[in-house]
Amino acid sequence: MMHDVVIVGSGAAGLTTALALAGKLRVLVLAKGSLTGGSTAWAQGGIAAVLDAGDTFEDHIRDTMVAGAGLNRTETVEYVIERAPHAIDRLIGLGVPFNTEGPSLHLTREGGHSHRRIVHVDDATGWAVQSALLKAAEAHPDITLLPGRACIDLITGRHELRYSGSGRVWGVYALDEATGRVEAHTARATVLATGGAGRCYLFSTAPRGATGDGIAMAWRAGARVSNMEMMQFHPTCLYNLDVKNFLVTEAVRGEGGRLTIPPGHPGAGTRFMPGFDERAELAPRDIVARAIDHEIKRLGLDYVHLDISHQPADFVKGHFPTICDKLKSLGIDMTRQAIPVVPAQHYTCGGILIDLAGRTDLPGLYAVGECTESGLHGANRLASNSLLECFVFGEAAAADILDRWDAFDAPPPVRPWDESRVTNSDEEVIIKQNWTEIRRFMWNYVGIVRTTKRLERAQHRIQMLTGEVEDYYGHFRVSTDLIELRNLLQSADLIVRSALKRRESRGLHYTLDFPHMLPVARDTVLVP
């Protein structure tokens, strides 16, 4: 099927791009699973923007660069932050019911921010944003939404029936998850908006589909990726043996929550963050996550406590209704009790290298949102800057596609997917086994504190698994699980290779072998 533009991903980045193109071009949006299966729907804290009279762009820019440990690209940071108020206006126009305080928007606070500047919808901002974007996209006649399509690979010059020798991208091959058939969706322009690769790790706040598919597809097609070692760990994921990935928003600390040592251990009940950083619980995430990891290892804890019970019960329930309800269902009353928390993987700061218009290295291929490395986050993303990046780059990519439209050729005839691999695997257990193995060694060897030896161990395992997974992929009918496993392994490889290249500690990359930061910040760029 031929379209003007194909967008892979229906989260904040994909739908923003689609809505900005609609009215001028016909757009197809593909998503694996449901249309609300990405991280966007799970976002809690909110969206950062300078909206208060006492706040300035300069302060938001400085906070972003301080959190990012100087690895950010200044022009990107300025570009995004100066467009944030406009992005919030557009969301209000789409009907997102942000919390208000009198005539103004209510602004909450999160780690690393020197001002209150986070707009939010209670503690479930992502769901409100995802719903509003989806409603607008569903209503637009130029947008076709196709859920249940797991994209496998980009269609490039080498898939043309008559190979032209170009590195041009012409769309995607996508598995129809209901029929098991693979479709070729061609287009003049292709946009990857596939989210992060958090599921490389055993403990992650990200949804199941965060397997780095877009990053792996772009890499295989020949695009550079950057700063993949910068994996962000959120300090406060609920510690619960049944519910492994429930986030407790940073806004809990923003509204006064304290991190303490749990009962039964030396120093029980005391706050430990002031001993690590003068900003205490509101230091940037890399610092807080590392401090928690340190205390857990030092005292042999399973978790630390996050305590906001000193605030009035109505205040806590009013600010965090979703979290209160969820915790109550698990037997924790956060208005009276501390919450057990641990750090967990949360965000992929690195990704497909893009410019300010969302362009990748490959002609015809754009990328937006968490699957990219735009220069905004540097070595550590500032809280609530991620959704913002999706809105700003979604619009930027759409504007660039429209500007260049006349220069984009129509796609040539391309080869259909090779359906010769018709055998269903009789050993699905291999997929499950490999998924678990990758996630476990990434957690143990490529986590919050790294060493060269641990990274080399991880690399060795990746090399062993790569042959097995490629052999499996080459012989059996593709399934979503297999597509994801292949991409998870590819993403793990990119993370480890990048981590081995960085011979310093900066932001989220902390290694005992190179504990100091080098004087000059350099991106880790991998070239296929």
List active site positions: 285
Is 14 an interacting residue with respect to ligand FAD (CB under 6 A)? yes
Is 39 an interacting residue with respect to ligand SIN (CB under 6 A)? no
Is 200 an interacting residue with respect to ligand FAD (CB under 6 A)? no
The kind and range of the H/E element at 487 are helix 480-501
* 3-state DSSP percent of the chain in helix, strand and coil, to 5: 40, 20, 40
C-alpha distances (whole Å) from 225 to each of 359, 372, 395, 527 are 13, 8, 22, 7
Q: In whole angstroms, how close is the CB of 43 to ligand SIN at the nearest point?
A: 7
Binding string to ligand SIN for residues 357 to 396, with x set by CB under 6 A, is what?
Answer: --------------------------xx-x----------
Is 9 an interacting residue with respect to ligand FAD (CB under 6 A)? yes
Give the per-residue SS3 of 489-504: HHHHHHHHHHHHHCCC
Nearer to ligand SIN, 21 or 383 (CB): 383
Q: Measured between alpha carbons, how far is 359 from 271 in angstroms, rounded to an integer? A: 46
Is 171 an interacting residue with respect to ligand FAD (CB under 6 A)? no
The binder of ligand SIN chosen from 14, 37, 45, 364 (CB under 6 A): 45
Segment contacting ligand FAD by CB under 6 A, of 67-75, 159-167, 383-391, 451-459 = 383-391
Q: Measured between alpha carbons, how far is 528 from 521 in angstroms, rounded to an integer? A: 22
Q: Measured between alpha carbons, how far is 319 from 120 in angstroms, rounded to an integer? A: 10
Task: Pinpoint the alpha helices (H) of 281-372.
Answer: 285-299, 313-319, 321-329
Task: Pinpoint the alpha helices (H) of 352-475.
Answer: 386-404, 429-445, 452-475
Map residue 179 onto helix, strand or coil: coil
Sheet strands (E) in 93-246: 100-101, 104-105, 107-108, 118-119, 143-146, 149-156, 169-176, 182-192, 225-226, 231-238
The binder of ligand FAD chosen from 160, 213, 281, 295 (CB under 6 A): 213
Structure tokens belonging to residue 382: 């500032």
Nearer to ligand FAD, 236 or 459 (CB): 236
Is 39 an interacting residue with respect to ligand FAD (CB under 6 A)? yes
Question: Nearest Cα to 47, choosing from 83, 10, 1?
Answer: 83
Q: In whole angstroms, how close is the CB of 47 to ligand SIN at the nearest point?
A: 9
Nearer to ligand FAD, 146 or 525 (CB): 146
The kind and range of the H/E element at 344 are strand 339-348
Is 201 an interacting residue with respect to ligand FAD (CB under 6 A)? no
The binder of ligand FAD chosen from 145, 206, 327, 462 (CB under 6 A): 206
Radius of gyration of the chain (CA): 22
The binder of ligand FAD chosen from 30, 88, 382, 495 (CB under 6 A): 30
C-alpha atoms less than 13 angstroms from C-alpha of 164 in its C-beta half-sphere: 13
Is 284 an interacting residue with respect to ligand SIN (CB under 6 A)? no
Nearer to ligand FAD, 86 or 460 (CB): 86
Q: Which residues are 189's β-sheet partners?
A: 5
Nearer to ligand FAD, 194 or 227 (CB): 194
The binder of ligand FAD chosen from 151, 169, 367, 496 (CB under 6 A): 151
Only one residue has tokens 């496998």, namely: 152
The binder of ligand FAD chosen from 111, 112, 126, 375 (CB under 6 A): 126
**Near ligand SIN in 228-257, by CB under 6 A:** 249-251
Only one residue has tokens 């055998």, namely: 423
Q: Give me the residues that bind ligand SIN (CB under 6 A), please.
A: 44-45, 249-251, 383-384, 386
Q: Give me the residues that bind ligand FAD (CB under 6 A), please.
A: 8-14, 30-33, 37-40, 42-47, 125-126, 149-151, 193-195, 205-206, 209, 213, 247, 347, 369-370, 384-387, 390
